[in-house]
Amino acid sequence: MTKLRYERPIITSLNGGVSNKFGTRSLHEPVSHIDGVSVKEIIAQYGSPVFILSERKIRQTYRDAKRAFTSRYPKVQFAWSYKTNYINAICNIFHQEGSWAEVVSIFEYKKAIANGVPGKNIIFNGPDKTEEDLRTAIENDSLIHIDHLDELYQIIELTGSLKKRPKVAIRVNMDTGIYPMWDRFGFNYENGQAWDAINKIILTDKMDLVGLHCHIGTFMLSPNAYAVAANKLSDLALGLKLHHKKNIEYIDLGGGFASKNTLKGSFLPGSDIIPGFDEYAEAICTTLLNAGFTKDDLPMLILESGRALIDEAGFLAGSVIANKRLSDGRRALVMDMGVNLLFTSFWYDHRISPVEASGHHTENAVIYGPLCMNIDVLRENVTLPPLKKGDQVVVHTVGAYNMTQWMQFISMRPNVVLIDPEGKTHVIRRKETVDDLNKMEEMPSHLKSFKI
Ligand SMILES: *Cc1c(COP(=O)(O)O)cnc(C)c1O
């Protein structure tokens, strides 16, 4: 008998979607209706592709988040993160629910003002505020969150020519045990920069320090990171009381709660592993309540949650343009929507469902968008039943960051439709046309004509 050859043990990865020891995933079941409205009819009326938002889901999610915090802490205020989705109708749903506005540029600031948000209920974040932007924010009594010393000095300078005392907070960055640390925004806690900024504000006495802010990251899977952040901001607030006899009005813990999406490379779907609002709320509220504030000094808790409040309420419906076999035998589908509309497909494995049932024999496929660009891949590998040209699909959990980061590249941006709680549909952003683009262009007279 010959000796068998030694083979070293290997670990093989299991492909999500295909049969494995956990059984087959059934995420490819058809989704024919959203909030009781037929996707087919929406596409027939508004075209393909089309973004669809559920007002009912937005309000439900917001109320769930609000309940998680208000049942644990007496003073809670949400501020809608405009950059997550700044279509005005969406912002106004949040404002109707009681949200303030959180903006990171003067363009978003102007949108909030035009939507009717009072200046004092606008939080102005971000590193890029011009002198003119700061002047506007000060005149409107908005809450200016200072990002760096240059901004602080500029505000001090501005107070010389303005009658109002600016209301400011500082943005603090810190080690919360999550790496890489977001230390490019604001003043660091551990190395004393945050204290230095606080002392400069208090002792120059040109503005009112009303809050302390942080935004420790995004898609944070650890509620404990927020406990660490709440603890460090509380320490600064209590130090302010001790050394300067001043109370701050609020602690703003920013956004960053994970939405029910699946990060690329994650073995289990996001909906199974991400913490709920109750877990984040428990970590934050318990920390604040135990930090050592007296009842009268307890700061208001502000939350700037973005993706966790809107992602699940957004869908992108589109159609199959073509079926292909790639040279290596894999099935490929070309869709009429790509990374131009779904920027988030670079980091999420978005769930994709057929609109109609079309057979039980599923096959793994790569999903391409319509762009003439190799990077235009919506999913590298997804299990779907056979779909033919013209069949429709729904991409799930796309409400956050896509309708703000979408590109006008090769194709125009499509209609965005809102389904109201009664099941009526409304266009809240009409699709773009070539005229919209050409409106911004100018033709120098020597280039106006040509002969070919
Ligand atoms: C982007 C942003 C948010 C919202 O973040 P999410 O991760 O979507 O919750 C909140 N605050 C600030 C300062 C931001 O930049």
Q: Do residues 320 and 206 both lie within one domain?
A: no
* Cα–ligand 1 centroid distance for 304 (angstroms): 6
Ligand 1-lining residues (CB < 6 angstroms)? 81, 83-84, 102, 104, 125, 215, 218, 254-257, 304-308, 400
Tell me the residue range of the domain where 284 lies.
55-311
pLDDT of 342-363, one tens digit each?
999 999 999 999 999 877 778 8
Closest residue CA from atom 3 of ligand 1: 255
* Residue 11 belongs to some domain of the structure: no
* Cα–ligand 1 centroid distance for 48 (angstroms): 30
pLDDT of 185-204, one tens digit each?
999 999 999 999 999 999 99
Q: Do residues 186 and 306 both lie within one domain?
A: yes
Residue 34 maps to which CATH number? Answer: 2.40.37.10
pLDDT of 116-128, one tens digit each?
999 999 999 999 9
Question: Rounded to an integer, what distance in angstroms lies between the CA atom of residue 146 and that of residue 125?
Answer: 7
Q: Do residues 341 and 274 both lie within one domain?
A: no
* Percent of the chain that is helix, strand, coil (3-state, to 5): 30, 25, 45
Closest residue CA from atom 8 of ligand 1: 306
β 425-429/416-419 pair status:
antiparallel
Number of domains in the chain: 2
Which band of pLDDT confidence, cut at 50, 70 and 90, is reported for residue 29? confident
> What is the position in ligand 1's atom list of the atom closest to the CA of 401?
8
Which pTM was predicted?
0.93
* Residue 2 belongs to some domain of the structure: no
* Residue 12 belongs to some domain of the structure: no
Q: Do residues 154 and 173 both lie within one domain?
A: yes
* Cα–ligand 1 centroid distance for 220 (angstroms): 11
Question: Rounded to an integer, what distance in angstroms lies between the CA atom of residue 280 and that of residue 88?
Answer: 28
Q: Which residues contact 390 (CB under 8 A, 6 or more apart)?
A: 319, 320
* Cα–ligand 1 centroid distance for 335 (angstroms): 30
pLDDT of 153-177, one tens digit each?
999 999 999 989 999 999 999 999 9
